[in-house]
Amino acid sequence: MAKLKFGLVGGGHGAFIGQVHRMAAELDGLAELVCGAFSSDPVQSRSAGVDIYHLPASRAYPSFSAMLQAEQQLPAGQRMDFVVIATPNHLHFPVAEAALRSGFHVMCDKPVTFSLQQALDLQELIQATKLTFGLTHNYTGYAMVREARELVRSGALGTIRRVNCEYLQGWLARSEADNKQAQWRTDPTRAGVAGCFGDIGSHAENLVSYVTGLDIAQVCADLTTFVDGRELDDDGNVLMRFHGGAKGVISASQIALGKENDLRLQVFGTRAGLEWQQGDANSLVVRYADKPAAVHRAGGMGTTAGSMAATRIPAGHPEGYLEAFAQLYKDFCLTLKGDSSAAGFPTIVDGVRGMRFIEKVVASSNAGGQWLPFE
């Protein structure tokens, strides 16, 4: 099968996530980067395309609008098939809207848009165009996260009673003055209404939803900005009540000194509980009420079909962040190639729910920790 072709928006000089998207999309040999608009500065965009991504200068475009217009004119065998959006949050909607209206499928970094209303507008456009839209909540690509999801769905844990998700980082414990990646994430004009909870709290919500399938009924939030002069939250805790009676807690921080990327999930049911953490991503611990605990290992004997499908190499060989990221692109590309069974990537539905979570959490915190209905 011929490789799909994609164009990248964002990911220029000084960026981190652009190269991650490129490596992830190309890992399984299903897609290749053929063009891009890598900066809002036309000179920097062309420079990044040639120097970082080693593209011909003719396909390192000065802007995303120029890229879309030019790519539309190319023969079908040469033009890009989909657009990858790896920009600050405020550009997600305009780039996605333009790409969809130009006839291109879209893979977008999270959170999906700058605001909930934009997410709802984007959902309508996706439905109207019937094009494929994916969202890179990459932690759903881990084999043992998919194992956890299948165990919960199978009833192995019984009825879910409690969910804990913790995501702790320390990289924003000090001023963002000299850090390009920190500057836009703490700027409400580019990040949106939330800082920490827009960046990593949204990942935690998505992980909880993906694994448990529970629907949030109410939230109660306490967000804090610890660093002087910062406009958005850098730490917070959220209580959740789910439809059906389960309770949950999400704790997220970017000022937890010493923590690098400490993401962990615990789910407790009437028959068993499970625990997964990114620091040991190949392991899933399941603790039962009436028998010894078990450790499920990625690629190991007896693991579920869903987790085996997300495992590339034999058990005992560690797979990590890039492989999980790549799993979403594998699912996305196979879907574009007509394999409907591969649609395991987050979609606009997850994006809308994620934006609702962000805005409700901020509203609850601003109201002094008031319980607010989710819908």
pLDDT tens across the length of the chain (375 residues) = 699 999 999 999 989 899 999 999 999 999 999 999 999 999 999 999 999 999 999 999 999 999 999 999 999 999 999 999 999 999 999 999 999 999 999 999 999 999 999 999 999 999 999 999 999 999 999 999 999 999 999 999 999 999 999 999 999 998 887 788 889 999 999 999 999 999 999 999 999 999 999 999 999 999 999 999 999 999 999 999 999 999 999 999 999 999 999 999 999 999 999 999 999 999 999 999 999 999 999 999 889 999 999 999 888 888 999 999 999 999 999 999 999 887 789 999 999 999 999 999 999 999 999 999 998
d(CA 271, CA 290): 8
Q: Do the domains at 4-135 and 142-314+346-366 have one common CATH topology?
A: no
Domain boundaries, the chain: 4-135, 142-314+346-366
Best CA proximity match to 218, nearest among 242, 200, 235, 236? 242
Q: Tell me what percent of the chain is helix, strand and coil, each rounded to the nearest 5.
A: 40, 25, 40
Superfamily of domain 4-135: NAD(P)-binding Rossmann-like Domain (3.40.50.720)
Q: How far apart are CA 35 and CA 97, in angstroms?
A: 19
Count other Cβ atoms within 10 Å, centred on residue 32: 14
CATH number of this structure's domain 142-314+346-366: 3.30.360.10
Tokens (6 digits) for 115 = 């605001």
**pTM of this prediction?**
0.95
